[in-house]
Amino acid sequence: MSTFEELSKLIMVSDICESFIGEFDKSQSVESVWEEWIQDLCDEKALDPMDQFALVKSNQKTIGWIGFEDLDSSKKTLCECMEPIRGNILISSDTSLLDAIHIVCRKDEPIYLILKNNKFIGWLHYNHFHKLPFRMCLFALLIDLERVLLKLTKSDPTSFLRNLSEKRLDKAKEIHELRYLSSNKEEKIFDSKLIECTAFCDKFTMLRKDPEIVQKAPSINNKFGDKAEKIRNDIAHPKGEKSGLFPIEKEKLIPFIEWAEELRQQLDEYVN
């Protein structure tokens, strides 16, 4: 089992879902809910009202949910503009992130409602996977892949470095000078250290120019290889956890994970 799989099975949906901003009765007017949503629930907590969802109840029983953008001023009561509870948007709070990504990425629902002991405790959106728990899982996936890329290129560093352009080689040497104030100048040892100073994308370039490796690990030529470094860097240095910042589109996340796992396995088998 890979590090990614182990981590994403240990972390649950309850670790990344968001709480509902409140609960409203279906008979309440849209105008009164709008005012309470803005003034009482969001302003005091400095929350963006557009990023919040609430539950709708009838006789203390949850019957639906609503987002701020659903508060249609042409309607009189919440009952007219709420979304009903449907079984296909319910997820248990103890669902692992590994299982949750397959649910969320393969459906086209605006949000999912999280249940714990028959109580709604929050809601889940694709962008919540940008939070630290899942970023950590995805980072582990790419670190494991880079580990085997590094191991393979260091098996014959001098030969692989010849596959880099002068510009990329000079960049690696700049990093080498900063990282190693003094270093053994023996060619193989020096080149091995120089390999460590190459970028994620450089390792793909070096390996893609080896016909035998391409034959044994065909996934190395997948277009995801060109995006992997940016995704890794965005995960490692996020600009925040707000909506819209997850570094890969929903429809591409599962294929990307499957590609990274498959390539790592192919290269591991080749190395070993």
Domain harbouring 42, CATH code: 3.10.580.10
> Does residue 6 sit within a domain?
no
DSSP letter for 188, please.
Answer: H
Domain limit, last residue, from 83, 99, 124: 124
> Does residue 2 sit within a domain?
no
Query: 129, 105 in Cβ contact below 8 A?
Result: no
* Distance (Å, whole) CA 100 – CA 92: 10
Domain limit, last residue, from 124, 156, 186: 124
Residues 69-106 have pLDDT tens digits of: 999 988 999 999 999 999 999 999 999 999 999 999 99
Query: 17, 128 in Cβ contact below 8 A?
Result: yes
* Distance (Å, whole) CA 81 – CA 77: 7
Q: What is the pLDDT of residue 260?
A: 97
Q: What is the pLDDT of residue 237?
A: 77
Check whether 184 has a pLDDT greater than 60: no
33 and 138 inside one domain: no
Check whether 246 has a pLDDT greater than 80: no
Domain limit, last residue, from 90, 124, 158: 124
> Does residue 1 sit within a domain?
no
194 and 178 inside one domain: yes
pTM (predicted TM-score) = 0.89
Summarize the confidence of residues 38-53 as an average pLDDT.
89
> Does residue 4 sit within a domain?
no
> What residues make up the domain containing 206?
132-271
First to last CA, the chain: 17
* Distance (Å, whole) CA 153 – CA 161: 8
> Does residue 5 sit within a domain?
no
